Amino acid sequence: MTDAVEFDWPAGWCGLMPSQVSAFLAQLRTELAPDHPFQRMRINAIGTALGSDDAVFVIEGWQAPFFVVHLAWPAPDTRPWLLRKLRPYPRHDPAIVPLPDLAALATLN
């Protein structure tokens, strides 16, 4: 995995602060369905778009070494457990965009 590696970011993108990495990774895991294949893969958060909630992740053993996903950061469902079970909120299924390299980020904006 590429933990403490500096990347060459295109305009409009930047690396995450070390204190942000775990929050972005936890949010991705929260927004993905429990049975999504990425839940079992080795992933690390590495960057974000300036001015949006698009996040960049590095992944091992997938079709591309990087991917971008728009994180929704929804508020937690604080309703009573029975109501959450009987009437769950619709799931946000984030769109995952594979990237062959970080230079491809320049084409996303």
* Domain spans, the chain: 13-107
What does the pLDDT read at residue 109? 60
Task: List the chain residues with pLDDT less than 70.
Answer: 1-5, 109
- Rounded CA gap, 104 and 56, in Å? 11
pTM: 0.83
If we measure between CA atoms, which residue out of 109, 71, 98, 101 comes closest to residue 7? 101
